[in-house]
Structure 1
Amino acid sequence: MIRNPVLQIVRLPAAKTSMREVHSRLPAKGADVTILGQELTFRNGRTAQNRFLKAALTERISSWDPKDPTKRGIPSQRIINLYDKWGHGKFGMILTGNICVDPVSLL
């Protein structure tokens, strides 16, 4: 095992036959996080209410039909509900996940 002088590895017993490694925190000074709650204005004039960002994910809960391309990528009620909750979650910005714009080419 390679030792890092800053990061200590603590071994804790886990399952009957294995060991689990838990890393300790790196030492850090306190930081003023109030900037995260401040508005952020972009060059185009749009403003985000704060600096929290919901990163893009592949939700994989839209429709998919291997034979009929017209039935691919249709948002389900689950994905509509998910983005509704995120939209009311006070994120400054929400980056959408994969959105099908071409029903045949999914690369």
Structure 2
Amino acid sequence: MKKLLCGVVFASPDDEEYDRMAHVWIRDAETAYWFSLSRGVNSDVIEVMASDQRSQTSGGLGVILSPTGILVRVNHDLARALDGYSEYATEFHPESQDVGSIRETLEVIFRGKSGLLTST
């Protein structure tokens, strides 16, 4: 199943408020649904949050970043642990951060890991 979002995307590669974690947050402009990817500075694990359901993963996660959006794919077990969706497709809202900042943050989150594709 795919969750479609038209979201405001916020990105921080080194957030001082959250112990220097790298975060990408997506908030759907109409439904206020939240989705995020984050990774602690000393962590080897990427944390995925969908609609306040937190799960950690170090595999089974893929992200495609384009100039107009983000597609996140999760494996079956992670989808079941979250809210049942195996794909989260986000079209950037005009108030989103620039795609360069989002790419920089995703590169920090995926440092040393596979699963990130960018076409920006």
Q: TM-score range by the shorter chain?
A: under 0.3
Q: Which of structures 1 and 2 has the bigger CA Rg?
A: 1
Please report the TM-score for the alignment, with normalisation by the length of structure 1.
Answer: 0.23
Higher relative contact order (CA 8 A, sep 6+): 2
TM-score by length of 2: 0.21
